[in-house]
């Protein structure tokens, strides 16, 4: 059956295209994913220029966004038209309509109606993941017909989608696919933390920790792009460090891995806000942090730089070590089952007992390797275990395991003594 669509005719380079709109329900019926075509298995490796679909990502991230977000929006689909011999375009000028005084003749030549005979085969060159997401969102089921973790949203089917049609040319189609994806900029982690509205930890950080309304760590002292700070940097910390600490705080509260692709219920966000803000208010009571944040204007930048040179506590990765140590120590002692100390007690313990001087021999094998500060997940985790021990954690049989790990990592260094003990 023929389909008529309002269309705009254009050209980009030597490629003619037609820009049309259609309802999402119509789009999902008329478009075919390359892998669903009968010819797919017979294509050569070269001809299989369409990438495999990541159905898991569609189900976890894109489809829930469509099903649950009223402010949803998508860009245009780029679609290859196969069997296009009977596809016709008639401009407003060709239809014999009189050109209005406000419209130029060129407008009447480029706007009109495109008619699909029904014999065409429409295949996305760009947008197959979004196409799958539309199907999932409208039906609430995945590609295997299994129920998804959200309710189907029939309203999505009435959404208007923008579609760019190009006639099939195998070589040109391959180029379009490759170039569109090559030049599509991947969002950096830093940009994601600044703009992501689905990751509720990123949202809380922007609004509640670093925002303009009663910030705990003002944005003026945060490096938004880097994960580390040079000795000359006037910043207090990095946005990535604040994010990782806040995420650990929320994981500690919930006791599970977080879903950061969709926003939780308002009451859960409110609890997260309260918990994360309370943690940060106590966390910045660490003396070096209080001093660094005493003057958050540009005039205080040199002071922050000098403090960081003299204190390992102000290195971003060490800030993460300290935060995770506090979270661990404020959990119930697994060996003695004794009540856990409060965060304030741990911060007071840190302020009274720990010397963060980079030249302090204590930090060799824990926070420093020779002249270098630790880097990476494994050294960070080991440093947390060691700092928990130093600050009083009773390890029981695990103490010997910690000593064994220490010996392998630091064969020439003696195992350090605790700096705090309840005994």
Tens digit of each residue's pLDDT (9 = 90 or more) over 136-166: 999 999 999 999 989 999 999 999 999 999 9
Compute the distance between CA of residue 7 and CA of residue 222 in angstroms, rounded to an integer: 48
User: Is-contact 157 23, C-beta < 8 A?
Assistant: yes
What pLDDT, in 10s, does the model give residues 31-75? 988 777 776 655 544 444 445 788 998 998 899 999 998 889 989
Residue 151 has a CB neighbour count (10 Å cut-off) of 11
Tokens 């994981």 label which residue? Answer: 251
In this structure, are strands 237-238 and 368-369 parallel, antiparallel, or unpaired?
unpaired
User: Is-contact 219 235, C-beta < 8 A?
Assistant: no
User: Is-contact 235 218, C-beta < 8 A?
Assistant: no
User: Is-contact 161 138, C-beta < 8 A?
Assistant: no
Q: Which residue has the higher pLDDT, 193 or 418?
A: 418
User: Is-contact 245 323, C-beta < 8 A?
Assistant: yes
User: Is-contact 34 19, C-beta < 8 A?
Assistant: no
Segment 179-202 shows an average pLDDT of: 76
Segment 259-275 shows an average pLDDT of: 90
> 248: Cβ–Cβ under 8 A, 6 or more apart, which residues?
320, 323, 324, 327
The pTM of this model reads 0.69
> 72: Cβ–Cβ under 8 A, 6 or more apart, which residues?
65, 66, 156, 159
Helix, strand, coil abundance in the chain, percent, nearest 5: 45, 15, 40
Compute the distance between CA of residue 412 and CA of residue 393 in angstroms, rounded to an integer: 25
What angle, rounded to 10 degrees, do the helices at 343-353 and 266-283 form?
Answer: 20
Pick the range with the lowest mean pLDDT from 36-40, 141-145, 204-208, 286-290: 36-40
Q: Please report the pLDDT score of residue 46 as a whole number.
A: 42
CA dihedral sign, ordered 333, 337, 338, 342 = positive
């Amino acid at each position: 059956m023929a389909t008529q669509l309002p269309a705009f005719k254009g050209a980009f380079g030597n490629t003619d295209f037609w820009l049309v709109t259609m309802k999402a329900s119509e789009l999902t019926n008329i478009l075919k994913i390359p892998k669903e075509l009968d010819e797919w298995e017979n294509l050569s490796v070269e001809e299989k220029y369409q990438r495999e679909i990541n159905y898991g990502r569609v189900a976890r991230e894109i489809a829930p966004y469509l099903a649950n977000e009223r402010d949803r929006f998508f860009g245009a689909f780029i679609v290859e038209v196969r069997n296009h011999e009977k596809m016709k375009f008639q401009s407003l000028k060709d239809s014999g309509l009189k050109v209005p005084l406000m419209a130029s003749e060129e407008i009447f030549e480029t706007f009109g109606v495109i008619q699909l005979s029904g014999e065409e085969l429409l295949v996305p060159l760009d947008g197959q993941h979004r196409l799958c997401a539309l199907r999932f969102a409208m039906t609430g089921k995945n590609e295997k017909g299994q129920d998804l973790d959200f309710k189907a949203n029939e309203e999505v089917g009435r959404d208007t989608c923008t579609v760019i049609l190009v006639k099939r040319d195998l070589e040109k189609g391959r180029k379009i696919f490759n170039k569109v994806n090559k030049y599509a900029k991947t969002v950096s982690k830093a940009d994601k933390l600044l703009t992501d509205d689905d990751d509720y930890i990123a949202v809380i950080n922007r609004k509640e920790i670093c925002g303009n309304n009663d910030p705990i760590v003002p944005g003026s002292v945060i490096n938004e792009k880097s994960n580390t700070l040079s000795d000359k940097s006037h910043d207090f910390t990095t946005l990535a460090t604040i994010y990782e600490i806040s995420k650990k705080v929320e994981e500690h509260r919930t006791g599970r891995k977080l879903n950061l692709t969709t926003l939780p219920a308002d009451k859960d966000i409110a609890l997260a806000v309260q918990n994360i803000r309370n943690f940060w208010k106590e966390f910045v009571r660490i003396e070096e942090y209080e001093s660094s944040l005493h003057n958050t204007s540009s005039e205080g930048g040199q002071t922050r730089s000098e403090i960081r040179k003299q204190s390992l506590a102000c290195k971003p990765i060490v800030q993460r070590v300290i935060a995770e140590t506090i979270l661990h120590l404020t959990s119930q002692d697994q060996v003695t089952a004794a009540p856990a100390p409060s965060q304030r007690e741990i911060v007071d313990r840190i302020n009274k007992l720990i010397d963060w001087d980079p030249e302090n021999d204590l930090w060799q094998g824990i926070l420093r390797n020779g002249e270098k500060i630790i880097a990476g997940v494994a050294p960070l985790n080991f440093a947390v275990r060691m700092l928990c021990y130093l600050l009083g954690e009773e390890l029981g049989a695990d103490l010997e395991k910690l000593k064994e790990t220490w010996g392998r990592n630091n064969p020439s260094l003696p195992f350090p003594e605790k700096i705090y003990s309840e005994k």
